[in-house]
């Protein structure tokens, strides 16, 4: 019985992490995750309720709605989010699928999107399939719907897709439409909460949702750091650190480090979807090494605060980049050797994506307390010969 209980909890935690990485699940886009969620839906519904999320199971469709609090959600920073045009075309492609019964083609979706956006009442820029970049963007949008299970491709010939993208020849690909998944793709209630303007009761709402908001940050982002919170939230999180850590451990099966500057969740490595929920960094790539070098050097010269953050003025950051180029010139790849001005932007983008850096409008740096986990990186002997470290692999 005990072994069965342990296995049941492992499956529940795996499904919980899986749904965080894939919030719309069908039998087609992830059959394994679908089976686990159906098997443990009662426990998963309760766990997501603690986060203020809604888990909807409608027939064979599973949808996790991340309900915003006061128009905000917890999400890791990314320097390269999906382009606005791609997201707009994704919604338009979904609308185009509404006009079909059970099957469609890439060309049919393209034609319908052109019709929708050519209307005088259309609030978006008209889609022009004669333009190659527009076709490429629509293809990205359709692939997004495919990954969500809304579209199920019936033709697997990639050459047909390439021919349509390059020259608009053929149908591109044929798809079955999962209308149940399409219905759950967007939730008007969630969208309205995300777009709603702040009201007079915003502070009361933030106070009432403080537990779920702090738990969201711990589970959804690299770390819950007190320095990133306002004074009330920071005091609350510090006083509830033990309970927050226990809740995160229970739901994810991971390990939570409770430190003076905040909490860090490390997911269980054996869960099937841990890799999808974990930032793949640092990588064996030049940009990662440059970022780690800059981070390490900044920690030695910056002004350290009581909460573990390190601050540098913009001119100090420029000086660090110049020193890195000068002192480690032989270790750098040609991308950075020939253009030293590339060092700072690469380091900033990499460290911000890793949740280790904040940059203000004037270029000043603030390294988070978590940056202290990364120390003194050294390049290997095959630094400039390993393919994985060359610029075209980044």
Looking at per-residue pLDDT, the higher value among 92 and 188 belongs to 92
Q: pLDDT-derived band of residue 390, with 50, 70 and 90 as boundaries?
A: very low
Using one digit for the tens of pLDDT, what is the confidence trace for 89-125? 999 999 999 988 899 999 999 999 999 999 999 999 9
Q: Can you give the pTM of this predicted structure? A: 0.87
pLDDT, residue 386, reads 44
Domains and CATH numbers, the chain: 2-70+196-266 (no CATH), 84-185 (1.10.10), 286-393 (1.10.10)
* Average pLDDT across the chain, whole number: 90
**Three-state SS letters, the chain:** CHHHHHHHHHHHHHHHHHHHHCCEECCCCCHHHHHHHHHCHHHHHHHHHHCCCEEEEECCEEEEECCCECCECCCCCCCCCCCHHHHHHHHHHHHHHHCCCCEEEHHHHHHHHHHHHHCCCCCCCCCCCCCHHHHHHHHHHHHHHHHCCCEEECCCCHHHHHHHHHHCCCCCCEEEECHHHHHHHCCHHHHHHHHCCCCCCHHHHHHHCHHHHHHHHHHHCCCEEHHHCCHHHHHHHHHCHHHHHHHHHHHHCCEEEEECCEEEEECCCCCCCHHHHCCCCCCCCHHHHHHHHHHHHHHHHCEECCCCCEEECHHHHHHHHHHHHHHCHHHCCHHHHCCHHHHHHHHHHHHHHCCCEEECCCCCEEECHHHHHCCCCCCCCCCCCCHHHCHHHC
pLDDT, residue 383, reads 43
């Amino acid at each position: 019985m005990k072994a069965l209980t342990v296995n049941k909890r492992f499956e529940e935690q795996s499904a919980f992490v899986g749904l965080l990485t894939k919030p719309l699940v069908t039998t087609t886009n992830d059959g394994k995750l679908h089976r686990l969620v159906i098997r443990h839906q009662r426990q998963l519904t309760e766990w997501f309720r603690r986060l203020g999320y809604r888990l909807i199971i409608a027939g064979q469709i599973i949808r996790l709605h991340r309900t915003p609090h006061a128009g905000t959600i917890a999400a890791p920073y990314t320097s390269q989010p999906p382009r606005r045009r791609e997201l707009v075309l994704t919604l338009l492609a979904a609308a185009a699928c509404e006009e079909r019964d059970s099957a469609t083609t890439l060309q049919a979706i393209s034609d319908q999107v052109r019709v929708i956006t050519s209307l005088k009442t259309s609030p978006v820029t008209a889609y022009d399939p004669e333009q190659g970049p527009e076709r490429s963007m629509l293809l990205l949008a359709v692939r997004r719907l495919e990954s969500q299970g809304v579209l199920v491709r019936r033709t697997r010939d990639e050459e047909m897709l390439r021919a349509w993208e390059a020259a608009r020849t053929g149908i591109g690909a044929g798809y079955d439409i999962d209308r149940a998944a399409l219905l759950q793709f967007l939730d008007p209630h969630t969208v309205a909460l995300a777009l709603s303007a702040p009201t007079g009761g915003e502070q009361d709402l933030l106070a009432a949702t403080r537990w779920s908001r702090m738990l969201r940050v711990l589970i959804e982002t690299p770390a819950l750091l007190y320095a990133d919170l306002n004074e009330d939230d920071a005091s609350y999180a510090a006083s509830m650190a033990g309970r927050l850590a226990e809740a995160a451990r229970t739901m994810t099966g991971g390990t939570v480090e409770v430190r003076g500057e905040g909490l860090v969740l490390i997911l269980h490595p054996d869960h099937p979807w841990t890799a999808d929920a974990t930032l793949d960094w640092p990588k064996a790539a030049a940009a990662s090494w440059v970022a780690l070098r800059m981070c390490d050097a900044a920690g030695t010269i910056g002004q350290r605060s009581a909460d573990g953050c390190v601050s540098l003025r913009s001119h100090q950051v420029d000086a660090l980049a110049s020193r890195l180029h000068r002192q480690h010139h032989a270790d750098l790849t040609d991308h950075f050797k020939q253009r030293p001005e590339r060092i700072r932007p690469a380091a900033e983008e990499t460290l911000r994506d890793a949740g280790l850096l904040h940059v203000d409008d004037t270029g000043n740096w603030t390294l988070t307390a978590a940056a202290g986990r990364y120390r003194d990186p050294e390049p290997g002997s095959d630094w400039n010969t390993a393919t994985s470290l060359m610029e075209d692999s980044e």
